[in-house]
Structure 1
Amino acid sequence: MADSTTTQRVEELVAQARTCIEQRQLQKATQLAKEAASLAPTNQNVQALVQSLSTEESSGSQILTLIKNYVEQGDQTDGQEAVKLLKQHTAIPSDQISDVAHFLFDHDGKPTETRDELTGAFVINSAAARKQLASRIQVGTEATRFFRLLWRRGEHSFNSILPVLLDANAWPNSETQTQAKRDAFLLALGKLLDPALEHGEWSMTLIARLLTSNAHDMAGLIDRDAFEIVLAQLDIRLDTKIRAQATLAVAKLLEETREEGENIFTDYVTNTVSKGHNDELIVAFSAAASVFPLVPQTVAKLFLTPGFLEGLIPVLERNSSGQRKSHRLEQAAMELMSAACVDKACRESLAKIAYNWLDDVAHTSSEAEAASMAALVLAKIPPKPDSEESSVTHADDLSSLLVNLTLNASSPAEQQSSIEGLAYTSLQPKIKGEIVSNTALLNKLIERLKSTTTADPCTFGILTIFSNLVSYRPAQSEEQQKMSQLRNYAESKKQEEKDPLDDDQHVTARCKTVLDANLIPVLVTAARSHYTVTILGIAVKILHALAREQKHRGKLAQQGAVKLLLQTIDRLQTPGGPASASDSAQAAIQLAAHALARILISVNPQHVFSRAMPAISALRPLTLLLTPDTSSETRDLLPVFESLLALTNLASLEDDAVKDALLRQAWQPTEDLLLSTNKLVQRASVELVCNLMASPAGVAKYADGSPAAKHRLHVLLALADAEDLATRRAAGGALAMLTEWDAAAKAVLEHDRGVSILLDMCGDESEEIKHRGLVCILNLVSAPGEVGTMGLQKVAQQDGVETIKSSLRECRNTDVMAIGVEVLKTIMGKNENSGRAITQG
């Protein structure tokens, strides 16, 4: 029989081999299996492992035969079976890789879907296959031949080029790999010049990925011609996939070329516009709109060139009069205008020169998409400077238009523009009220949110609208209000009047409407799938605002808000997650933790948490709020206070694991906050400590005899004598539980003022404090052995019996009276047993 050490080793080998099989490392798995078999040949797990490897190797050996039959005989069934095995990551024996590569790369048969899938799966799933392809495309004109071969085969085949180019292990040296990248870059650029090109996104994706992976490899190739080829792919008439990849490529090109690249871009747009034809204008406006967010100052300078906008509007007006000649020109121009609104001077110029045309398109266009885009631009700019129309009337009219466009939108483009426009107008309190009272609109937005994806721009717009609806005004301390007044006075500015429609009462009412519209379940699903800091941040902001009102918290918990907040925090903190170290991610984590704290203050933790989502999972984010932000000049104590309340609620659970975890994670900041100058924060921290005294680990913090424990007890006794009633009550409760333990009782007795403070509690005006003080004294005098004797002596020295009798004379609470009588009986009984009598009062 194998000893335990051997058995354990065999189990480790089997587990490692299984992992290698899953990762398709069959050679390593075989070696591990052989070692395991040598140690325990009859072990059932070892035998099963060997059988699995045998099956894997058998399947891998079949692939060569299947592909050979498909290539040479056209057997579709064998071809599909080979595809299936490759997609299951079945490993091909190393001695057969070159034969498979020969059939797939060196036989240029008729392009078929099966051949395309075979080629792609073979290359992507096998490092040896990538090496085979690399060896074929690194020699002279072979790069061109294989580029064209894989293009003809189809998308799977062509996309397999990129992993080969980026796999350093596939190449004999870095110089050869770099040259292959450069060849592919030029070939992809050349493909984009083909006027009859189909699937341009394949080439554009390859170019973008080569640039973003290491643009330095393309040094010398990034010239004016290359730049202009890529800029042309931003044309709004092209597929959105091409435009998306082109935007990535342009961003990288501008990053690498800096001033030179900006000059090339400026010349490209200027020269293209100067040609004056609709096609050229569409290309120029498309490029400028896409590049505006990347280099806003450069494009704004172009946009504000004297005569540019003044000359453009008449062209657009002629195009729009009667039957529109070019909807694409209209669209491209408005996309540029919308992008230009990031710049204040551009907004003012648009309001002065383009307002009438935009207003006409928004109200009269038979094209819903054009009307939506025009309304969006109008939402971003101020009213026409010389117009008699007030800003309020402008916003009301625009909002009504956008609401109708949103309700009646039939295409994604229409929805995107109208929703984005609503997001802008929903910043105004009056418009917020109109939106929230429109049940049909709220339902439309929520239904639309259900169908959005990560890349859908409508997601951001819809969530922004809801965030605007539920956001409260930022709270200001008295000091901040005074500073704001002084700043306005210094700048000769009139104090801005606050709109009553945006006060807390109105916001809370809007929050209730949004909550009743069942946004949260949809938000839970949407935010879970939209793995970006921006989307998660807006979702968290909405939840934080909704959780402010105590009455809303129960419903939030029922609809899954707690789970969503915990998942969001976890994702944002995960290394390699969506910008986990960024300031925006950290801000979202803080806000999510605060929203979580608010909910957990007001709900029963037993109804929220379960085995699948334990209460311990909430401790770390709540503890984050207790730690000061060193980067901030001032500290907002509201999140600290509410986190302490939530942790106190969790500490009330009859689960020692929660208390022990809380002591490990939150004790240090909680202990620091016991000395806070803020009365509410200090009170909340004492209440948390009180709940933690139900744990032996919590008691040990005060009773292990260490200098730190003595200092902690000194602080707790001082808090039991605090001016604030609630603080005294919580400290008294903690002492009442502490003194149940002999070591803690002894520590109190050894403190200079320990018994004196407890007797002061017995004489407190509050019957709750009185009750706690009496319990503490009872614990001291009832303790066994030397501790109890010391307790009797200390109480006698402080004239404790008279103090207790005096406090009971004024007591009306029967429970307190009962404890007091028990204390006196205990003292009297122990004193009689020791041969002493006490004087009757």
Structure 2
Amino acid sequence: MADSTTIQRVEDLVAQARACIEQRQLSKATQLAKEAASLAPTNQNVQALVQSLSNQDSNGSQILTLVKNYVERGETKDAQEAVDLLKQHTAIPTDHINDVAHLLFDHEGKPTEIRDQLTGAFVINSAAARRQLASRIQVGTEATRYFRLLWKRGEHSFNSILPVLLDADAWPNAEVQTQAKRDAFLLALGKLLDPALEHGEWSMTLIARLLTSNAHDMAGLIDRDTFEIVLAQLDIRLDARIRAQATLAVAKLLEETREEGEATFTDYVTSTVSKGHNDELIVAFSVAASVFPLVPKTVAKLFLTPGFLEGLVPVLERNSMGQRKSHRLEQAAMELMSAACVDKACRESIAKIAYDWLDDVAHTSTEAEAASMAALVLAKIPPKPESEGSSVTHADDLSSLLVNLTLNASSPAEQQSSIEGLAYTSLQPKIKAEIVSNTALLNKLVERLRSTTTADPCTFGILTIFSNLVSYRPAQSEEQQKMSQLKNYAEAKKPDEKDSLDDDEHVTARCKTVLDADLVPVLVAAARSHYTVTILGISSKILHALAREQKHRGKLAQQGAVKLLLQTIDRLQTPTGPSSSSNSAEATIHLAAHALARILISVNPHHVFSRAMPAISALRPLTLLLTPDTSAETRDLLPVFESLLALTNLASLDDESVKDALLRNAWDPTQDLLLSTNKLVQRASVELVCNLMASPAGVAKYADGSPAASQRLHVLLALADAEDHATRCAAGGALAMLTEWDQAAKAVLEHQRGVRILLDLCTDDADDVKHRGLVCILNLVSAPGDIGEKGLEKVVQEDGVEEIKKGLRECRQPDVMAVGVEVLKAVMAKEGTKGKAITQG
């Protein structure tokens, strides 16, 4: 029988071999399998590994035959089987690669969907295939022919060019690879100039990826002509996929060319607008709207050029009269105005010059998409003063319009604009009340969110609406309130009047309505796809607000909020998570941890956690809240306090692993907080320590005989003498559990005022504190050997019998009286006074 060392070695070899198979390193996997077989030929795992490698070789050998049957005889079933094998990363034998490449690359054949899939799968799933294609598109070869061949064959085939261009191992050297990239870049640009072009997103994606992967490789090719070709792909009349890739490319071009690029952009927009025709205006407005977020100052300067908006509005008004001539012109102009609203001066200019036209479109357009877009712009700009004679759309009227547009929206574009508009208007308390009272609207928003993905712009808009509905006013400390008053006084401003519709009572009521609308289960279900810092952040903000009210916490836990919060924190803390080191990620982690703490304060941990989601998983995020943020000017102690309460609840579990983890990770910050000047934080930290004393490892913190343990005991005894009743009670409870242990009892007796403090607990006005003091004294005098004798001696020295009798006279609790009687019996028995009246006097 193999020894344990051999068995472990075999297991390691099998694991390494399987990893090599996954990475398509079949020769290395074969070597590892041979070594494993020599050590344990009858091992079932080894035999399974050998069989797996045999299947890999067998399947890989079939691919050539399958491809040949398809190319030469049109056997579609064989082609599909080959595609399936390639997608499983089945390796093609080295001596077959040339033949498969020849069949797929050098035989043009009739373009079919299966031929397209087969070509793409061959290249994407095989490094050897990428080398074959690279050899055909190198400098001096027929690069253009293969470019056109793969384009004609289909999307999978053409998209396979990019991984080849980016795979350094596919090329003989970096110079050849760079030149191939440049050739492909120029060929893709040329495609975009074809007026009859279909599938322009293929070409635009290739250009964008080449720029974003390493724009320096395109040095000398990025000129005014290139820039203008890419800018033209931002036209709103083009496919959204082309525009998305063009936006990425423009962002990179602006980054690379800086002032020169911004000048090219400005010239392009200016010259296009000057032509004055609708087609040119649509392009110019589309480009400016897309580029606005990238270089807002440059575009705002263009937008605010004297005469631009003044000249544009009459054109738009004439277009809108009667039968609207060009809906695309309206759309492009409103997209530009919407983008321009990021700039204050632009917002004011739109409100002054374009308000009436926007108002007219919002209320009279037969195109729901145009009405939604106009309403969105109106939501972003200040209302036009009534004194200027406009038909003013007030906030409530605008909100009602947006609500109706949202409820009746039939296309994604309509939904996006109306939802975004509601997101802006829902900042106002009156609008919040209107939205939350509209059950149909809430259900529509929840259902719409259920069908969204991270890439869907509606996701952020809907979550923003719900966040606005449930957000409480920021709490201000007394010092912050005074500073605000001083600032108002210095600026001669009246304090802002606070709308009663946004007070805590109204917000809590809105929170209940949102909770009852089953938003949380949708967030939980969508968590996997909504993997961005922004989306996770706003979801955590919503849960944080919902968890503020204690009555809501049970339902939050039932609906899966704990799991969602833990997933959020885990994803953002993972090194590969989205922007895990960013400030926004850290803020989201903190917010999610605080929401988690709030829920775990009020629910039974046994009902929340399971083997699949153990309680120990919540300790790390909760402990994070105990550590001060060194970058913050002031420390918010509410998250600290609520985290301590949650940890105390978890420490009550009969799970030693939880207590051990708490002692490892939360002990040091908790000890620091025992000295907090905030009464509530100090109390909560003592209560956590009390629960940790149920663990032997917790007791050791006070009873291992070290100077640190002595110092900790000194602090705990001092807290047993605190003014706050709850703090004394928690400290007394901790001491009661501690003194059950001989070494801990000995440490208390060695403390100068240890017994005196415990006797003071016995005479406390509160019976619960008194009870804990009596248990401590009973533990001291009942300890075995010298410890018990010393305990009795100390109690007698401090006139303990009389102190205990005094405390019992004022006691009304039978269980406390019973412990007191037991203490007196123990003391008197040791003093030889057994049988005397112990309660007399």
- Which TM-score bucket, shorter chain as reference? over 0.9
Please state if 1:37 is matched with 2:41.
Answer: no
Amino acid at match of 2:642: E
Given that 1:442 and 1:517 are in contact with CA atoms closer than 8 Å, whether structure 2 keeps it comes out as yes
Cα distance in 2 for partners of 1:763, 1:2 equals 70
What does the per-residue CA deviation read over 1:56-104, in whole Å, with 9 as the maximum and x for residues that have no partner? 1011001111112222222222222211211111111122212211111
1:676 is displaced (CA, Å) by 0.2
**What is the match of residue 482 of structure 1?**
482
**What is the match of residue 175 of structure 1?**
175
**What is the match of residue 219 of structure 1?**
219
**Change in 2 beyond 3 A, CA 1:111/1:579:** same
Given that 2:629 and 2:635 are in contact with CA atoms closer than 8 Å, whether structure 1 keeps it comes out as yes
Cα distance in 1 for partners of 2:742, 2:610 equals 36
Given that 1:352 and 1:385 are in contact with CA atoms closer than 8 Å, whether structure 2 keeps it comes out as no
The TM-score with structure 1 as length reference comes to 0.98
**Change in 2 beyond 3 A, CA 1:546/1:388:** farther
The TM-score with structure 2 as length reference comes to 0.98
Amino acid at match of 1:84: D
Cα distance in 2 for partners of 1:812, 1:393 equals 70
1:282-321 to 2 correspondences below 5 Å: 282-321=282-321
Given that 2:511 and 2:546 are in contact with CA atoms closer than 8 Å, whether structure 1 keeps it comes out as yes
Please state if 1:809 is matched with 2:778.
Answer: no
1:48 is displaced (CA, Å) by 2.5
1:3 is displaced (CA, Å) by 2.8
Cα distance in 2 for partners of 1:713, 1:211 equals 64
What does the per-residue CA deviation read over 1:190-234, in whole Å, with 9 as the maximum and x for residues that have no partner? 110011101000000011111111111111111100000000000
Amino acid at match of 2:569: I
Cα distance in 1 for partners of 2:620, 2:277 equals 62
Given that 2:626 and 2:669 are in contact with CA atoms closer than 8 Å, whether structure 1 keeps it comes out as yes
1:213-612 to 2 correspondences below 5 Å: 213-385=213-385, 387=387, 394-612=394-612
Cα distance in 2 for partners of 1:840, 1:324 equals 103
Amino acid at match of 1:758: L
**What is the match of residue 753 of structure 1?**
753
What does the per-residue CA deviation read over 1:465-504, in whole Å, with 9 as the maximum and x for residues that have no partner? 1111110000001110110111111122221111111111
**What is the match of residue 114 of structure 1?**
114
Q: SS of 1:36's equivalent? A: helix
| Structure 1 residues without counterparts, runs of 5 or longer | none
**What is the match of residue 622 of structure 1?**
622
**What is the match of residue 11 of structure 1?**
11
Cα distance in 2 for partners of 1:388, 1:506 equals 36
**What is the match of residue 764 of structure 1?**
764
**Change in 2 beyond 3 A, CA 1:202/1:520:** same
Percent identity between matched residues is: 87
Q: SS of 2:497's equivalent? A: coil
**What is the match of residue 207 of structure 2?**
207
What does the per-residue CA deviation read over 1:485-527, in whole Å, with 9 as the maximum and x for residues that have no partner? 1111112222111111111111111111111111111122233
Given that 1:454 and 1:529 are in contact with CA atoms closer than 8 Å, whether structure 2 keeps it comes out as yes
What does the per-residue CA deviation read over 1:618-649, in whole Å, with 9 as the maximum and x for residues that have no partner? 11111111000001010000000000011111
Amino acid at match of 2:380: K
**Change in 2 beyond 3 A, CA 1:281/1:729:** same
**What is the match of residue 827 of structure 2?**
827
1:22 is displaced (CA, Å) by 2.7
**What is the match of residue 99 of structure 1?**
99
Amino acid at match of 1:511: C
**Change in 2 beyond 3 A, CA 1:840/1:249:** same
Amino acid at match of 2:18: R
**What is the match of residue 739 of structure 1?**
739
RMSD between aligned residues:
1.8
Amino acid at match of 1:158: F
Amino acid at match of 2:16: Q
Moved more, 393-402 or 709-718: 393-402
Amino acid at match of 1:422: L
Amino acid at match of 2:781: V
Cα distance in 2 for partners of 1:449, 1:222 equals 41
Given that 2:356 and 2:390 are in contact with CA atoms closer than 8 Å, whether structure 1 keeps it comes out as no
**What is the match of residue 185 of structure 2?**
185
1:23 is displaced (CA, Å) by 2.8
Amino acid at match of 2:661: A
Cα distance in 2 for partners of 1:627, 1:591 equals 14
Amino acid at match of 1:127: A
Amino acid at match of 2:673: L
Task: Give every structure 1 segment of 4 or more consecutive aligned residues whose post-TM-superposition deviation is greater than 3 Å.
Answer: 385-393, 833-841
Cα distance in 2 for partners of 1:574, 1:645 equals 27
Q: SS of 1:661's equivalent? A: helix
| Structure 2 residues without counterparts, runs of 5 or longer | none
Aligned length: 841
1:107 is displaced (CA, Å) by 1.6
Cα distance in 2 for partners of 1:361, 1:199 equals 33
**Change in 2 beyond 3 A, CA 1:499/1:388:** farther
What does the per-residue CA deviation read over 1:797-830, in whole Å, with 9 as the maximum and x for residues that have no partner? 1111121122222222211111111111111112
**What is the match of residue 729 of structure 1?**
729
1:42 is displaced (CA, Å) by 3.2
**Change in 2 beyond 3 A, CA 1:407/1:79:** same
Cα distance in 2 for partners of 1:181, 1:809 equals 94
Q: SS of 1:606's equivalent? A: helix
Cα distance in 1 for partners of 2:297, 2:386 equals 27
Amino acid at match of 2:733: G
Cα distance in 2 for partners of 1:346, 1:14 equals 66
Given that 1:67 and 1:100 are in contact with CA atoms closer than 8 Å, whether structure 2 keeps it comes out as yes
1:128 is displaced (CA, Å) by 1.2
Cα distance in 1 for partners of 2:826, 2:21 equals 73
1:838 is displaced (CA, Å) by 11
1:647-662 to 2 correspondences below 5 Å: 647-662=647-662
